[in-house]
């Protein structure tokens, strides 16, 4: 699979959440199939390579002659990007830079920020992604929001309260690495327990390793867990397209 990523298509806008090492091949493989002609905003969860390693390639998916693409990220992720890609932080005006580089408008958000991305009400919240290292989760939309938590090993108490307050959640996307547990990701059993507590309308698991088992077989397993719990659960996959109702 490619690095975990989300593309929100909302009206005529395309908002990308995370732009990892495999962004280029993912864009080549899926963007045309899903009518994605350009990226209008980027949201970054954290500064690991599988979340930010493709930002240089954003130059190929920017609308010509448009303003710099907003990139929402916390200060730690900005530091990582700035040290890895200093040329994407030009001191001169973008129009003065002779090289063809991605024109990015870096917008630092707090770990608990409420903000709008091209009209989509968006809320950030911090989750632990190994020890006390912070990755951001996000909710999109006001009523019955769509919630995305791609990299998480545990939750700060305050974040659990925030997520509970979002209820009812229409769709939850949640990290589920393996079966046995891991320092920086939830295992599938842990993710299932979390889903049962949060009770979204539907849950998708992301970030799986091959050790979890074959995709279809695990999804069969999840069907019986879905029946027992009354919550639909499924493994996501590359290129998966889901329709969600989002209120602004």
Nearest to 43 by CA among 128, 129, 134, 104: 104
Indicate the helix (H) or strand (E) that contains 17.
strand 13-17
In terms of CB distance, is 48 or 78 closer to Zn ion?
48
Distance in angstroms (rounded) separating the CA atoms of residues 205 and 169: 15
Give residue number: closest CB to Zn ion.
48
Least CB distance to Zn ion at residue 130 (A):
8
Query: Diameter of the chain by CA atoms?
Result: 60
Least CB distance to Zn ion at residue 151 (A):
5
In terms of CB distance, is 106 or 128 closer to Zn ion?
128
Least CB distance to Zn ion at residue 139 (A):
20
In terms of CB distance, is 40 or 151 closer to Zn ion?
151
Interface positions with Zn ion (CB under 5 A): 48, 151
Burial of 160: CB neighbours in 10 Å, binned 0-12, 13-18, 19+: middle
Least CB distance to Zn ion at residue 150 (A):
8
For residue 4 the two structure tokens come to: 């975990």
Nearest to 36 by CA among 66, 6, 56: 6
In terms of CB distance, is 152 or 195 closer to Zn ion?
152
Least CB distance to Zn ion at residue 46 (A):
6
In terms of CB distance, is 151 or 190 closer to Zn ion?
151
């Amino acid at each position: 699979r490619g690095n975990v990523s989300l593309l929100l298509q909302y009206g005529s806008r395309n908002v990308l959440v995370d732009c990892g090492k495999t962004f280029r091949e993912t864009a080549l493989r899926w963007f045309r199939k899903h009518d994605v002609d350009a990226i209008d905003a980027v949201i970054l969860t954290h500064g690991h390579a599988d979340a930010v390693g493709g930002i240089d390639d954003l130059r190929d998916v920017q609308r010509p002659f448009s303003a710099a693409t907003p990139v929402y990220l916390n200060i730690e992720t900005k530091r990582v990007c700035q040290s890895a890609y200093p040329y994407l932080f030009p001191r001169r005006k973008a129009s003065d830079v002779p090289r063809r580089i991605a024109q990015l408008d870096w917008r630092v958000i707090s770990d608990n920020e409420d903000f709008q991305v091209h009209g989509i009400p968006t809320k950030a919240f911090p989750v632990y992604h190994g020890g006390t290292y912070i990755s951001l989760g996000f909710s999109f939309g006001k009523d019955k929001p769509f919630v995305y938590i791609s990299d998480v090993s545990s939750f700060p108490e305050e974040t659990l309260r925030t997520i509970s307050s979002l209820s009812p959640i229409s769709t939850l996307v949640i990290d589920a690495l393996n079966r046995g547990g891991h320092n920086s990701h939830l295992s599938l059993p842990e993710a299932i327990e979390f889903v049962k507590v949060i009770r979204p309308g539907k849950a998708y698991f992301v970030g799986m390793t091959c050790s979890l088992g074959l995709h279809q077989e695990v999804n069969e397993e999840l069907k019986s867990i879905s029946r027992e719990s009354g919550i639909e659960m499924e493994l996501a996959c590359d290129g998966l397209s889901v329709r969600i109702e989002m209120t602004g």
